[in-house]
Amino acid sequence: MKINTKIIAHRGSKGTRPENTLISFQTAIDDGADGLETDVHFSKDHQLIIMHDETVDRTTNGSGRIVDKNLAEIKHLDAGVRFSSEFKGTTVPTLQEVVELLIKDNFTGIFNLELKTNKIQYPGIEKAVFDYFASIDYPFQLIYSSFNARSLEILNRLDPKLAGAKLFKTAAKQAKTLKKDHLIADFHPDIRWLKRHPFFAPAQNLRPWTVNSTEDMQYCFERNLAAIITDYPARAVQIRSEMREGVE
C-alpha cells in the first residue's frame, strides 16, 4: 500500500516521555518520527517557553502561570517527576534549546510550532518567534499553527510565504475562510471531528490530532492524509510500515 502520510510526534513522544521536554523530542526522533509538534508561550521576561498549558501545574512540580514567571524561575521547575520518578530533574526547555537539539541531530523533518495564544494573547510573541527563526539557519521544515486566527494573520503579514495551519475542534468555517484568503495552507482538525466530516478538505491539506488508537492511525493511513499528529510516534511508525508491506 502506498502511504505517504507523515508521522508528527505530539509534544514529542508524549505517550512515553515527559511531554515537551528535550528527552521527549529526542525519543521521537530516535523512533523515526517524520516531524515534531510543540507549543510556545511567553514568560514574564519575554522568553520563548516550550509548554502546552498556560500554567506549570500539570506537568511540573510548580504552580502558577508561565506569563507570571521569569526564565530563571521556570528553569528551577522539574518537568519530569510528575510523569515518572525516572525522569526527575528534567527541565522545561526554551524554543532555542529545542531548535539547537534539532540542528545538532540534523533533523530535516517537520517542526510544527503552535503559538498558544488562544487563552493568553502574549502581545508580540508572533514577531519574537518570526525574528528568532529569521536570525538562524535550520535544516527542518517549519510550520506554524494556532487556534488563534489572529496569530496566523500576523505571521502571514510578517512573511506571506510562511507555512501556516489552523487548529480547530469544530470551527471549520473559520479555517476554510483563512484558507480561502491565503492566510494558511493546511488544516489541523481534531481527529474525532474529521471522522464525522471525512470530505472536509483534500487529504494533502489535513494533519489531524491526536491520532493515538490503532484504528485512527489506520483510518488516516488508508486515506493517505498529509500527516498525523500522535502521542505514540513509535507505534505509528510500526503500523505504517506494516500497512505498507501489507502485513495483517
Instruction: State what percent of residues in the chain have pLDDT above 90.
Output: 98
Nearest alpha-carbon partner for 20 in 114, 127, 141: 114
Is pLDDT above 80 for 248?
Answer: no
Is pLDDT above 60 for 157?
Answer: yes
Q: What is the pLDDT of residues 42-80, one digit of tens each?
A: 999 999 999 999 999 999 999 999 999 999 999 999 999
Looking at residue 20, what is its pLDDT? Answer: 99
At residue 247 the predicted structure's pLDDT band, cuts being 50, 70 and 90, is low
- Indicate the fold that domain 6-38+96-245 takes in CATH: TIM Barrel (3.20.20)
Looking at residue 1, what is its pLDDT? Answer: 82
Looking at residue 246, what is its pLDDT? Answer: 87
Is pLDDT above 90 for 133?
Answer: yes
Looking at residue 108, what is its pLDDT? Answer: 98
| Chain-centre distance for alpha carbon 186 | 14
Q: What is the pLDDT of residues 74-101, one digit of tens each?
A: 999 999 999 999 999 999 999 999 999 9
Looking at residue 30, what is its pLDDT? Answer: 98
Is pLDDT above 70 for 155?
Answer: yes
Q: What is the pLDDT of residues 25-42, one digit of tens each?
A: 999 999 999 999 999 999
Q: What is the pLDDT of residues 161-201, one digit of tens each?
A: 999 999 999 999 999 999 999 999 999 999 999 999 999 99
Residues identified as active-site = 10, 52
Mean per-residue pLDDT over the chain, rounded? 97
Q: What is the pLDDT of residues 223-240, one digit of tens each?
A: 999 999 999 999 999 999
Cβ neighbours of 139 (radius 10 Å) = 12
Residues with Cβ within 8 Å of 12's Cβ and at least 6 positions away in sequence, in order, are: 19, 20, 21, 23, 24, 25, 26, 27, 28, 36, 38
Block residue for cell numbers 486515506: 223
Whether the Cβ atoms of residue 185 and residue 164 lie closer than 8 Å to each other: yes
Which residue ranges make up each domain of the chain? 6-38+96-245
